[in-house]
Amino acid sequence: MNAATTVGLYHWRALVLRWRSQPASPLARWVLTFALSAAAGVLLLGFAAAEGARRAELRRLGLDTIVIEAPSQSLLSEHALLPPDHWAGPLEKGGELLLLQQLPEPAFTPWGDPMPVFAAPLSVATLLGGGAARGGNAVWLTRTLPPGRRVPLSRRNLPFSAVTAVPSGNLEALGLGDFAIVPAAAADERDAQGRLDVILFRPGPDMAEHAVDAVRRLFAVEGSSPPSLRDPTPYRAALEAFTSTQRRWRTGMSLLLCLCIVLAFGSIGMLEERQTRYTQALLRSFGVSAASLWSVSLLENLLLANTALLAALVSSRLAARAVLSLAGSSLPAPAYVETASLLWLACAVNAGVVLSLMPLANALRRPVGAVLP
């Protein structure tokens, strides 16, 4: 055996003896880290659940989509998302774009209720209606009928059939109840006047800030009157504000956690130092470095703190699930806390452990001869 192994084994035996003779010392450190980390974990899970729910709601309602309405200048093509030279062409690169044309005449349900009708390129109709819309079928977007049913509708007293589907994604941004989408080819000369371009534009991350300005600029260049715009920016800003608040809380909570660990581990460490001072000085008199003795204490505390942290994260996840279940909440417990938050927590705990050992580092600078008689 070499010196490092021998000294390491000696430390391990001494540690086991110390833990056995005073179990309160490791237990206090473990339980404290566990309790604080579990509380922090529950808070992080709560934040993650709230943010996840807000994002899901934003997406479900299409509130991350800008709705632009402007009089149509050209007819839709059956095979292209946008007609050539359409004013919205430049937006295509900046995000997800869908052009619908609202037709002037409504469609009627079998019960005689009117609903708006939009024309879309065939590919779009197929996309929205799934397999059922292939072959040029219209789609009736409704939440009252099960999807995939073929239902007779009428427009201008002419019957046509449509397949039911549930509106989802950016179509939610239209803010409509029931409506129909028909293939572009279904619109005829009588629909030429009074059509309205409805563009659903979900800007990408690079364009999110400037999308509305970009649209306004496009119309200003054309010299046209400004379009009707429904801007989701305030909703996005609210989400950003929430995320930012969450980050501030996370930082504050991590600092508090770190401080608690520094104080608790530091106090216990100072008491333990009084017990181990003699053997540490003796080992130093043999030539064992103060740094290696400090590392042993660091390893001991890291072992306690990180096992407690791991157990706390697992427990907080289970606790969050149990609490949500007991509360009968439909909000799903988040499957995970984002890596950055976990790293913050781990950094806080481990930084606390390291800082709590600064007094020991100082004590290990005391001359051996001042300790050993």
**Which positions lie near another protein, rule CB under 8 A?**
1-3, 6-7, 10, 13-14, 17, 278-279, 282-289, 367-370, 372-373
Least CB distance to another protein at residue 2 (A): 7
- Which residue lies nearer to another protein by CB, 215 or 364? 364
Q: How far apart are the first and last CA of the chain?
A: 30
360 vs 355: CA distance, rounded Å = 10
C-beta of residue 33 within 8 angstroms of C-beta of residue 305: yes
Least CB distance to another protein at residue 15 (A): 11
- Which residue lies nearer to another protein by CB, 10 or 160? 10
Least CB distance to another protein at residue 259 (A): 33
Least CB distance to another protein at residue 367 (A): 5
Least CB distance to another protein at residue 289 (A): 6
Least CB distance to another protein at residue 301 (A): 21
258 vs 324: CA distance, rounded Å = 28
Tokens 């697992």 -> residue: 314
Tokens 């660990």 -> residue: 261
Structure tokens at 326: 């007991």
- Which residue lies nearer to another protein by CB, 154 or 279? 279
- Which residue lies nearer to another protein by CB, 67 or 281? 281
- Which residue lies nearer to another protein by CB, 9 or 221? 9
Q: Which residues lie across from 98 on neighbouring strands?
A: 200
| Cβ-based neighbours of 303, under 8 Å, separated by 6 or more | none
- Which residue lies nearer to another protein by CB, 21 or 193? 21
Tokens 């409805």 -> residue: 198
Neighbours of 329 (CB within 10 A): 11
- Which SS3 state, helix, strand or coil, does residue 204 take? coil
42 vs 35: CA distance, rounded Å = 11
CA distances, 58 to each of 37, 68, 116, 172 (Å): 31, 18, 24, 10
